[in-house]
Structure 1
Amino acid sequence: MNRLILYIIIHVIGVATAIAQIKTEEIVIYNNNIELPGTLSFTKENTPLIIWIHGSGNVDRNGNQQPFIKANYIKQFRDSVNKYGVSFYSFDKRTANKKNIKSLKKGVLFKDYIADVQETILHFKKDTRFAKIVLIGHSQGSLIAMLNHTNAGKIVSLAGPSMSADKTIITQIQEKAPYLDSITKAHFKELANTGSIQNVNLMLQSIFRKENQSFLSSWIKYNPSKEIQKIAIPVLIVNGDNDLQVKVSDAQKLHASNKNSELLIIPKMNHVLKVVNSVTENQNSYTKPDFPLSSNLIQHIVKFVNQ
């Protein structure tokens, strides 16, 4: 009994010490008039630094989107890799920072997100405390990571689509609302040919509303399966088999496009990296942060980063 108590005490002290050693810095990186505030956390210098690249939406540095998404998955990811001595940086997307509202009125193009990440990488390339930069691109961020590969040591594609945005959206429409398939294809064709859509179907306004059209037009030009072929640095491709947004087949297609990549399919992991056992849990994990991250994911990421 005494040995058990001693073990528990040592374990608790060890965990408390590890947590106490984590250093954090609040950093603001600028891309012209755009402010990108973020958090850097690390335990020691000369370690790999992960830079997290967000998926679509107004995602903040912790993985939440006001007012509905409160999954906190990036914060959980940060805390998990920090415990293994891996440094981590994530920032609020330009669309998640209220200080950028005036600049955002001019509109956002896909190249702006690429440039935001480029500025972030350049900032940390000047920081001699870190041994190398590893980009983790989540969902839409997977493509952005690929397009910034020349400034990185390694890349992780995490739940990244394998097709261009138009084909990805058309596939989703075919599965969920097949009666809108033909009009969706027609809208994308018009957008590709003219740069705009004159008469948007009322049921597709959330995708093709006027203020979205320039962004979509700039995004659909990229094909992730082609972009990944250009990458010579190490690439890890990860997907969960409970992901309702990006299929396992997407990860397999990306892997097939880059023969030097590694492929990891994680059982029960969903799009926000949580372990879920049912459709109900899958849906709830987007609004309740207490669902655990996949430990399998963390172990493989840490191993890949440190190789």
Structure 2
Amino acid sequence: MIGALLMAMMSPQAIAQPMPDGAIEAPGPSGPLRGSLVEAPGTNGTPAPMVLIIPGSGPTNRDGDSPLGVRGAVFRQLAEGLAARGIGSVRIDKRGMFGSAGAIADANDVTIADYASDVRGWIGVIRKRTGVPCVWVLGHSEGGLVALAAAQEVTDICGLLLVATAGRPMGEVLRAQLRANPANAPILPSALAAIDSLEAGRKVDIATLHPAVAGLFDPRVQSYLIDAFRYDPARLIAAVKGPVLILQGKNDIQVGIEDAALLKNARPAAKMVTLAGVNHVLKPVASDGRGANVATYGDPAVAIDPAVTDTIATMILAGTAR
């Protein structure tokens, strides 16, 4: 979240090659929301299952890349891997950003409820386009919170796939992330005071903050943070109906195993899978060192860990076979 500052038994060879990316749009407030559609062939007249991929916080695009230093297109890799297993997908640009820039005038003028409303719109478009009776919704990081919020009011979700999703309110997670880095010691008092204020619904004068954290609490995003801090993922998941996968990398330095456990405790029927050697951006890491972990974020040569795709595909195909 400081970045604002996710085994199929069928052999891939047994399935026809997926079609290339296609353009797809959903209605937005002032212009279209845009995404990329990857279709997979159905079987016996039944359409292939579909998954909507919701990116995480900040300027993260439909492929999972960010100008803040994340590269490698892990969501595109995930979509391609799922298609090879007979699962279609739509990955999206959030309202106000990238291909969806025309949907609203100000990308910062949003709430979690707005993003959840967009998810509902995308589900309707996907169902109409592909003929599926329901859509799997995958949320990565903060996208998992959006998925949980959307699921409170949507009945045509096949299930939720929560990948690297916090189990605590965002303010608590942000505190933990800041405290986890020893280099942040000089700025902690300023940053923690700002979080306290935003949690209480009060905006912060950045002139009173340490310069190193002023960007994290930019006035343009404070209304969004005040809104987002109100949501408790554990409370939301307890109210979700239908299958839920909680997928967490053990080498994630932004969201921890304790978050996955909180979600699991709130929804005991959920399936929880932890993956050794997988970090927050779903890439394999061989070291526990923070520097080596973060270095993979911007290295496009490091591909998504295959276990991520395998776990998600297994969940979807098992749920679809019911």
TM range (shorter): 0.7 to 0.9
Structure 1 residue 43 corresponds to structure 2 residue 52: no
Identify the match of residue 175 of structure 1 among 175, 180, 189: 180
Q: 1:209 to 1:130 in 2, by over 3 A?
A: same
CA–CA distance in 2 between the matches of 1:136 and 1:162?
Answer: 16
1:1-307 aligned within 5 A? 18-19=16-17, 21-45=18-42, 46-66=47-67, 68-97=69-98, 99-100=101-102, 103-104=105-106, 107-149=109-151, 150-151=154-155, 152-176=157-181, 177-198=184-205, 199-201=207-209, 202-278=211-287, 279=289, 281-307=292-318
- The range that moved more, 178-187 or 207-216, is 178-187
- Secondary structure, counterpart of 1:103 in structure 2: coil
Residue 94 of structure 2 aligns with an amino acid whose one-letter code is K
Q: 1:125 to 1:171 in 2, by over 3 A?
A: same
Structure 1 position 282, deviation (Å) = 2.6
CA–CA distance in 2 between the matches of 1:146 and 1:105?
Answer: 21
- The range that moved more, 96-105 or 203-212, is 96-105
CA–CA distance in 1 between the matches of 2:66 and 2:32?
Answer: 17
Structure 1 position 203, deviation (Å) = 3.1
Q: Is the 8 A contact 1:62 1:73 kept in 2?
A: yes
- Secondary structure, counterpart of 1:239 in structure 2: strand
CA–CA distance in 1 between the matches of 2:164 and 2:117?
Answer: 21
Which one has the bigger strand percentage?
1
- The range that moved more, 93-102 or 274-283, is 93-102
CA–CA distance in 2 between the matches of 1:249 and 1:269?
Answer: 15
- The range that moved more, 136-145 or 94-103, is 94-103
Structure 1 position 23, deviation (Å) = 4.8
Q: Is the 8 A contact 2:52 2:89 kept in 1?
A: yes
Residue 135 of structure 1 aligns with an amino acid whose one-letter code is V
Structure 1 position 100, deviation (Å) = 3.1
- Tell me the alpha carbon deviations over residues 222-281 of structure 1, each in whole angstroms, 9 at most, x when there is no partner: 011111111121111011111121111111111111111011000111111111212455
Q: 1:35 to 1:195 in 2, by over 3 A?
A: farther
**How does the TM-score come out when normalised to structure 2?**
0.83
CA–CA distance in 2 between the matches of 1:194 and 1:66?
Answer: 29
Higher Rg = 1
- The range that moved more, 72-81 or 55-64, is 55-64
- The range that moved more, 46-55 or 184-193, is 184-193
CA–CA distance in 1 between the matches of 2:315 and 2:121?
Answer: 24
CA–CA distance in 1 between the matches of 2:89 and 2:103?
Answer: 27
- Secondary structure, counterpart of 2:49 in structure 1: strand
Q: Is the 8 A contact 1:134 1:153 kept in 2?
A: yes
- Secondary structure, counterpart of 1:245 in structure 2: coil
The structure whose RCO (Cα within 8 Å, separation 6+) is larger is 2
- Tell me the alpha carbon deviations over residues 73-98 of structure 1, each in whole angstroms, 9 at most, x when there is no partner: 00110111100000111012224326
CA–CA distance in 2 between the matches of 1:100 and 1:253?
Answer: 37
Structure 1 position 71, deviation (Å) = 2.1
Instruction: State the percentage of identical aligned residues.
Output: 22
CA–CA distance in 2 between the matches of 1:238 and 1:188?
Answer: 27
Structure 1 position 105, deviation (Å) = 6.5
Residue 80 of structure 2 aligns with an amino acid whose one-letter code is D
Specify every segment of 5 or more residues in structure 2 that has no aligned partner in the other structure, as ranges.
Answer: 1-10
Residue 193 of structure 1 aligns with an amino acid whose one-letter code is A
**How does the TM-score come out when normalised to structure 1?**
0.87
Residue 204 of structure 2 aligns with an amino acid whose one-letter code is I
- The range that moved more, 289-298 or 68-77, is 289-298
